[in-house]
């Protein structure tokens, strides 16, 4: 009998201990919730009230200026602040560069013949030199041109130039030529000879293909007819609205694929092919195309 009472007492003590433990655990849990403002509030604090700042979105090619070539140590030589635009730099009779910049730029370029087998079509011009970023894009464009038109080819008539030329409306003195950028090549199709004849090239479907497709490789028709500003017999008439004063069907300039597409599709020109000058003004990079600060 005594043994039975002892077992009952032990069982009661165990039950009391379990109940006490559960009660204590519940009380401690309530205290934690109270201090944190309740379960819902605690969740809100962790995920909502102090939300970390979102990372900066990656900026596309069209929104930022491109890293400048190393010759940019001379970027203000000639007062041409557009050299800070990298592949969007503007060199023309208003926005000029000096011989120091031109000489330094030459050392940054690659030989298109040695690296990609692109031929120079005029003896005496030397090797075609182009910016390392632009070079493979030009090689790809030439390869696709050959595929589109079997029996045809593209060669350069000149790319980078150390000096300017003096031959009237179509030429620029040293320091004023787009060829100093290192992003430019004059292109010819040997089927039509080696002369740069605007009227001859413009009528051929191959050249129409080049203008319509060059943006896919990052190149633009640098001097389209739409921005020539009048008959070629007139003096170069660069204007404040983006007129280049020149019409050349063979002159192609690398600006990167995003920008090239915006220029070709006329994003800032009512859907019509744009000029580089007008594009730079429309995107806020240049305020006054007639003033080089």
pLDDT value at 200 more than 80: no
105 with 70: CB under 8 angstroms? no
Give yes or no for residue 180 having a pLDDT over 80: yes
| Residue 184 main-chain phi, psi, to 5 deg | -125, 145
Please say whether the beta carbons of 174 and 105 come within 8 A: no
The SS3 assignment for 120 reads strand
Are 196 and 248 within 8 A, CB to CB? yes
Q: How confident is the model at residue 196 (pLDDT cuts 50, 70, 90)?
A: confident
| Cα–Cα dist 113/127, whole Å | 7
Q: Does pLDDT of 18 surpass 60?
A: no
Is the predicted pLDDT of residue 34 greater than 70, yes or no? no
Q: Nearest 5°: phi and psi at 254?
A: -85, 130
How many residues are listed for the chain in this entry? 293
Share of the chain above pLDDT 90, in %: 48
Q: Which of 124, 122, 120, 123 has its CA nearest to residue 142?
A: 120
Task: Say which DSSP state 31 is in.
Answer: H
Residue 113 has pLDDT above 90, yes or no: yes
Cα separation, 105 vs 160, whole angstroms: 9
- Give the whole-angstrom CA distance, residue 229 versus residue 245: 5
Burial of 240 (0-12, 13-18, 19+ CB in 10 A): exposed
Helix (H) or strand (E) holding 110: strand 110-111
Per-residue model confidence (pLDDT) at position 8: 58
Separation between Cα atoms, residue 288 and residue 293, nearest integer Å: 9
Distance (Å, whole) CA 138 – CA 185: 9
In this prediction, residue 59 carries a pLDDT of 34
- What pLDDT score does 245 carry? 87
């Amino acid at each position: 009998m005594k043994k039975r009472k002892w077992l009952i007492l032990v069982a009661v003590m165990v039950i009391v201990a379990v109940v006490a433990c559960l009660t204590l655990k519940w009380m401690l849990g309530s205290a934690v919730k109270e201090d944190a403002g309740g379960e819902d509030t605690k969740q809100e604090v962790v995920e909502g009230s102090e939300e970390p700042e979102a990372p900066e979105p990656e900026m596309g090619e069209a929104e930022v200026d491109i890293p400048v070539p190393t010759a940019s140590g001379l970027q203000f030589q000639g007062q041409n602040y557009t050299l800070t635009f990298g592949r969007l730099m503007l060199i023309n009779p208003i926005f000029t560069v000096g011989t120091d910049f031109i000489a330094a730029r030459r050392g940054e370029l690659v030989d298109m013949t040695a690296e990609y087998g692109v031929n120079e079509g005029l003896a005496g011009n030397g090797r075609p030199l182009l910016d390392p970023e632009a070079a493979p894009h030009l090689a790809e464009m030439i390869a696709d041109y050959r595929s589109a038109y079997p029996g045809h080819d593209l060669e350069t008539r000149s790319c980078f130039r150390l000096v300017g030329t003096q031959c009237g409306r179509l030429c620029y003195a040293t320091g004023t030529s787009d060829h100093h950028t290192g992003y430019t090549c004059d292109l010819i199709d040997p089927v039509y000879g080696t002369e740069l004849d605007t009227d001859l090239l413009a009528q051929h479907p191959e050249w129409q293909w080049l203008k319509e497709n060059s943006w896919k490789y990052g190149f633009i028709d640098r001097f389209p007819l739409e921005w020539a500003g009048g008959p070629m017999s007139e003096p170069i008439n660069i204007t404040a609205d983006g007129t280049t004063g020149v019409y050349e069907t063979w002159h192609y300039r690398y600006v990167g694929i995003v920008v090239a597409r915006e220029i070709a599709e006329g994003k800032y020109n009512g859907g019509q092919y744009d000029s580089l000058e007008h594009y730079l003004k429309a995107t806020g990079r240049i305020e006054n195309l007639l003033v080089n600060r």
